[in-house]
Structure 1
Amino acid sequence: MNKRLITLSVIVGLAALSRLLPHPPNVTPIAAMALFAGAHFRNRKAAFLLPIAAMFLSDLVLGFAVYGSALLKSQPVVYFCMLTAVAIGRLIRTNRSALKIASPTFGNAVMFYLVTNFAVWAWGALYPRTWSGLIACYTAAIPFFRNSLIGDITFVALLFGGFALLERFFVSLREQPRPLPA
C-alpha cells in the first residue's frame, strides 16, 4: 500500500471520527470528506467505499450511544447524498483549484438540504404532506442548512488545503501519473 493511499485513508477516517466530538448541529466534515475522497482517491472503489464505511461505522457508534438505535429511517437518503458528493468530487479530480472546489461544495450543500428535507417531509410525521407542509419543512431547516454550509466550507478548506500542503512538502504523497501501456 502506498503512502498516498494510507494518508488519504487516515484523513477520511479521522474526518468520520470527528463526528463523535461535540459540535453544533450539522457542522460536520461528512460532505467535505466525501468530496475530498472523490477528488483524491485514484481508485474509484476506494473513493466510494471508504467514506461510506467510515460514515457507517460512526453512525453505528452515534446510533447506539446517542439515538438508542443504530439506524434511522432517513439514513439511505443521507448515504445517497454522500455517494453523490463522492461522484461530484470525481469530477474535479484533475483540477482542484479553489474555484473548482468552491462550486461543488456549495452545490452539494444545496442538494443535501433539498433532498434530505424532502425525505423528512415525505416520510416523517412532523409536517402535513401538503405544499405548505413542504415549505414549512424547508423553512424550519434553514438554520441547519446555514450550519451545513459553515461546516462544509470549513472542512473542505481544511481537508483540501491541508492535503495540498502535505503534497507540497512530501513528494511521496503526490499522485504519480499512470504508466503508459507497453
Structure 2
Amino acid sequence: MAAYFALLVAVLSRILPHTFQATSVGFTAVGGGLLYFGARRSRWHVIPAVLTLMATDVYLTLYVYNYPFHVSEYVVTWLWYAAVFLMGSQVLAHKQSALRVAGAVLATSTSFFILSNMVVWCAGMMYPHTAAGLLACYVAAIPFYANDLMSTAITAGAFFGLPALARNITVNLRESLHNQRPA
C-alpha cells in the first residue's frame, strides 16, 4: 500500500502546484516515488505506474498548459519513467542502504537532466543545433536539475528513510524493554 501512496504523491506533486498557482517551487516527487514504487512492487507493476504518469502528462499538457498533445514529445519521458521504476526494482528492492538510495537518486535526476535537455535541444527551436546551442541548453537547465535533485532526494529519503527509522526505533524499544525485564 505504501508503494501506491508514493505513486499518488508523485502524481499530486505535479498536479497540485498548478491547482494552487504555486508552480515556481519546482518540486516533484516523481523520481523518488518511482524508485520507491519499483523497490516495493513486482516488475509487472511498471505498467500501471507508467500509465498513471502518462495520464498525468496528458492531463497537464491538454488541460493545464493548454497545448496540443503529441505522443512523440513524451516517448523519452515515458521510457525514463519505466527505467527509473526498473532501477528501483533492481538496485533497491532486495538491499537498501543510504549509499544505494543516494546513488539511485543521483542517477535518477542526472539521467532526466541529460535526456530531457537533449530532447529539448534536438526537437526544439529554442537553441541552435550546434555544440554551443547544446551547451546553452544544458547550462540554462542547471537550476531545474538542482530542484529535481533536491526533490528526488527529499522524497526518496522520506519514502525509504522513514520506514527504516521506524524499524530501528521499534527494534531499539523492544530491546530496551527486554533488557529491563527481571531475570
TM-score (norm 2): 0.79
Identity %: 28
Residues 23-42 of structure 1: pairs in structure 2 closer than 5 A:
23-24=23-24, 26-41=26-41
**Residues 69-80 of structure 1 aligned to structure 2 (within 5 Å):** 69=67, 71=69, 73-80=72-79
Asked whether the equivalents of residues 40 and 93 of structure 1 are also in contact (C-alpha less than 8 Å), the reply is yes
| Larger deviation, residues 10-19 vs 97-106 | 10-19
Give the corresponding residue for 1:45: 44
Distance 2:95 2:24 in 1: 32
- Matched residue, 1:13: 8
In angstroms, what is the RMSD of aligned CA positions? 2.3
Cα separation, partners in 2 of 1:147 and 1:7, compared to 1, 3 Å? closer
TM-score by length of 1: 0.79
Aligned residue pairs total: 163
1: CA distance, partners of 2:89 / 2:163: 16
Match of 1:158 in 2: 158
Q: Distance in 2 between matches of 1:135 and 1:38?
A: 33
Instruction: Give distance in 1, aligned partners of 2:56 and 2:149.
Output: 21
The equivalent of 2:123 in structure 1 is: 123
Letter in 2 for 1:146: A
User: Would you say the 8 A contact 2:109–2:148 is kept in 1?
Assistant: yes
**Aligned 8 A contact 2:6 2:34 in 1:** no
Q: Trace 1:72-111 onto structure 2 (pairs within 5 A).
A: 73-91=72-90, 92-111=92-111
In structure 1, runs of 5+ residues without a counterpart are 1-5, 171-182
Question: Following TM superposition, by how much is the alpha carbon of 1:28 offset from its aligned partner in structure 2, in angstroms?
Answer: 0.1
Unaligned runs of 5+ in 2: 18-22, 171-183
Structure-2 change in CA distance of 1:169 and 1:65 (3 Å): farther
- Give the conservation status (yes or no) of the 8 Å contact 2:32–2:155: yes
Name the structure with the higher helix share: 2
Structure 1 residue 167 displacement after superposition: 6.7
Seen in structure 2, the aligned counterparts of structure 1 residues 168 and 24 have a Cα distance that, compared at 3 Å, is: farther
**Which residue in the other structure is 1:175 paired with?**
none
| 1:39 counterpart SS class | helix
Matched residue SS, 1:151:
helix
Q: Which has the larger radius of gyration?
A: 2
Distance across 2 between alignment mates of 1:96 and 1:39: 9
Partner of 1:177: none
In 1, Cα distance between equivalents of 2:11 and 2:163: 16
Write the deviation string for residues 1-26 of structure 1: whole angstroms up to 9, x where unpaired. Answer: xxxxx342233123212311224454
- Residue aligning to 1:174: none
CA distance in 2, matches of 1:52, 1:40: 15
